[in-house]
Amino acid sequence: MAALLNGVSPDQKGPIIGSFPAPRTKEQWVEEFIEKLPGLTPNVSYKSIKRAKGITQLADIIATVYTKGFAGEGHFYITVSTRGTTAEAIKMVERTQKANPVPAEVLPMLLAPIISENSQTYLKQWKLGYLDLTGNAYINFDQYLVDKENGADKVAPQKRFLVSLSAPKTSRVILALLASPGTSSTVSGLCEACSVSPAEASNVLAALEKRKLIARGKRGEVVPPVESQAILRELSKEWAQSD
């Protein structure tokens, strides 16, 4: 842990200064995170992970992931920091705000050896992701929900589903599906009909699909017929538990 706090991985190989390994540079951390990212997020399905140099000022790494929405793929725009302090989190939020609006299919993330508790709280407030080598992680994007503290899950999947269903915009999407059970609904169509963002519509569909309440096609569309009665039963159960 002390090695990580000094910006040094425990298994680091390289020049030794006195009795301590030389601190890694940001470039070295970028290379390490590109290699380790799939292992740090085993529930995420990656299409590609590459350096972002010359592509965008918002990231050091761009990871393309397979998604249910966004025409099948989304992107993690990853900023790498040698120290995950609150100051670094604030800088990341400021960069993100200047790029407003960030596309719905993009999730800005902060990666560091260790990310402080204050930084974690701050990034969550701004709906940004983070990940470190001690097991802290937060990703809330399309069908992916990762919320860990020191490697332990903080939010059970069923709670995530309940929170989604209680939101007004979420109710619009569900009602639209129930109103046309025999229609093939797409994310873009639901966005237009319900005045919600692609991310919001995709999250609802991913939650319903996880409960096996809907089926989806290769392009993420809802395959009819929608099991209206099953959805209504599940809604009644969830709302009863929330009282």
Structural domains in the chain, sorted by start: 2-153 (3.40.1350), 157-242 (1.10.10.10)
Q: What does the block give as tokens for 18?
A: 């006195």
pLDDT of residue 158: 42
- Average pLDDT, stretch 73-101? 88
Give 39's contacts (C-beta < 8 A, 6+ positions apart). Answer: none
Q: Tens digits of per-residue pLDDT, 46-77?
A: 989 999 876 566 789 999 998 877 778 899 99
Percentage of residues in the chain having pLDDT higher than 70: 78
Q: Which is more confidently placed, 165 or 192? A: 192
Q: What is the pLDDT of residue 109?
A: 95
What residues does 216 pair with on adjacent strands? 222
Work out the number of other CB atoms within 10 angstroms of the CB of residue 76.
25
- pLDDT, averaged across the chain: 78
Asked whether residue 20 carries a pLDDT value surpassing 60, the answer given is no
Point out the least confidently predicted range of 26-30, 133-137, 138-142, 230-234: 230-234
Q: Which pLDDT band holds residue 111 (cuts at 50, 70, 90)?
A: very high
In this structure, of 14-28, 62-76, 207-221, the range with the lowest mean pLDDT score is: 14-28
Q: What is the mean pLDDT of residues 207-229?
A: 80
What is the reported pTM? Answer: 0.56
Q: pLDDT at position 56, please?
A: 62
C-alpha distances out from residue 43 to 68, 127, 197, 239, Å: 14, 20, 24, 28
Give me the amino acid identity at 174.
I
